[in-house]
Amino acid sequence: MKKRKLGNLEVSALGLGCMGMSFGYGPPKDRGEMIALIRAAVERGVTFFDTAEIYGPFANEELVGEALEPVRERVVIATKFGFNTESGVQGASPLDSRPEHIKAVAEASLRRLRTDRIDLFYQHRVDPSVPIEDVAGAVKELIDAGKVRHFGLSEAGVATIRRAHAVQPVTALQSEYSLWWREPEAEILPALAELGIGFVPFSPLGRGFLTGKIDETTEFDNTDFRHSVPRFTAEARRANRALIELIDDFAAQKRATPAQIALAWVLAQQPWIVPIPGTTRLDRLEENLGAADLELTPAELDALAAALSKIEVEGARYNENVQKLVDR
């Protein structure tokens, strides 16, 4: 597996997003099977694994910790803080990035991950009630104490990134980016290039849609968050088939799969971009990893960009409640 740099943190060119093994995409998967899948990823050269305390909550960190404990020195583990896991109380904010909470989450995550340090600790969502300088300062103290190695942000805007970076250098930003969500190109990617910050796209396969395996007849379990996402209504899926047809054409030309084209496109945008596609199946893992060796030529990228410019993706990427927690 090829390597890439997020700031000065070296990781495999493709990471593994572990959320869906425990949370978000239907019922939790079999624990033993998921441990085997994570270890299979390590054997295939993946060194970068992504989780968060809110995934479950807690169950995904416990899963990742158990799976990676025997190979801890070979891998980079990223996890996240910033949610109030007890926000079911009426009127309580779903966010909590108070410095004392960040430090408590770090200690709990270390226990669940069965490790003595968190390699990359992201603020999961920007908390408007806590100055980002205080957040960065709290993580700096954890870094100074040896409990955290690198600081990250997720779904943060340029101004927030700059303010945080001035207090504690930000190693990576994690935000959504794919063939059907390209907003980061306007302001985020230029700022990251200027500051030397790596980019970790989540949902690089469009939450599965860009694989071509989902159409307007697909039914989602009530525990699958796509059930409430505007972009995944049957009407939106039908309208967005034009994008899948385009990707299919390129896949046929390259003798690749649509998923590999989607991932290779993300990888081709910058050498400091490391996508973290998730999967719960070994065959899909191997398919995704094949994208790291798929080269798209400048002419192919230009042709793809020209074709994409004629397609308008239908549907918002989040429902209103979730959208309130991003773009701060």
Residues with a known catalytic role? 55
Report the C-alpha gap between 84 and 293 in whole angstroms: 40
Report, in angstroms and rounded to the nearest whole number, the Rg of the chain calculated over CA atoms: 19
- Look at strands 3-6 and 9-12 and give their pairing: antiparallel
Phi, psi of 174 (to 5 degrees): -110, 120
Instruction: Provide the strand spans (E) within the chain.
Output: 3-6, 9-12, 16-17, 48-50, 76-81, 118-123, 148-154, 170-176, 198-202
Phi, psi of 123 (to 5 degrees): -75, 120
Render 85-119 in DSSP notation, one character per residue: TTTTSTT--SB---HHHHHHHHHHHHHHHTSS-EE
Report the C-alpha gap between 53 and 271 in whole angstroms: 29
| Residues 50 and 61 sit within 8 Å (Cβ to Cβ) | no
